Amino acid sequence: MTVKFKMVGKKIKKKNGKTFYFATAAPQGELDLAGLAKHMSMHNTPYSKGQIQGVLQDFVGCLSEILQNGYKVKLNELGTFKIGMSAAQAAKPADFESTKNIKGFHLLCNTSPCKAAFRRALGTPQISQLPLYNVDRKKSETPADQPQNP
């Protein structure tokens, strides 16, 4: 397994607008439920891709239903999921109207309780740096002062 990363430049206001570079993980693609089911079916399981995909589709539906009913869902070695919301403030509780002040909902995932177990499951991945992205697109290269990764 190789985790690829890229260097991203960000201007930091608190540092007089200087640009600093940070490493960020760079996904190499995306798997949907069918792709995940196919991958899982290749791991010495008696279940077919179709059976696994059906279970995963049911899982997604049930997860959504449980979250919408106000529960948190903890998946060991992955994280705890719950619904979060964005809401506008009100001057006092009596001024708050759910239809007016609640702007939207989003999914939250807290990996903190699971980090140690996840790290054990992940192991130590190989890392590989992608070329530096230049906005002017004239060239794409790794800066000479950046250490190369194995």
pLDDT digits (tens, 9 = 90+) for 91-105: 988 999 989 999 999
Domain membership flag for residue 40: yes
Average pLDDT of span 36-46: 92
**What pLDDT score was predicted for residue 63?**
93
Domain membership flag for residue 55: yes
Domain membership flag for residue 62: yes
Domain membership flag for residue 41: yes
Structural domain range at position 39: 32-71
The structural domain count of the chain equals 1
For residue 14, the Cα-to-chain-centroid distance in whole angstroms is 27
- DSSP-based three-state secondary structure for 70: coil
**What pLDDT score was predicted for residue 149?**
42
Domain membership flag for residue 76: no
Which residue matches tokens 């239903």?
65
Domain membership flag for residue 122: no
On the question of pLDDT at 11 being above 70, the answer is yes
Domain membership flag for residue 101: no
Domain membership flag for residue 134: no
**What pLDDT score was predicted for residue 22?**
79
> Can you give the three-state secondary structure of 86-150, one letter per residue?
EECCCCCHHHCCHHHHEEEEEEEEECHHHHHHHHHHHCCCEEEECCCCCCCCCCCCCCCCCCCCC
Q: Give the chain's end-to-end CA distance (angstroms, integer).
A: 13
The Cα–Cα gap between 58 and 50 comes to 12
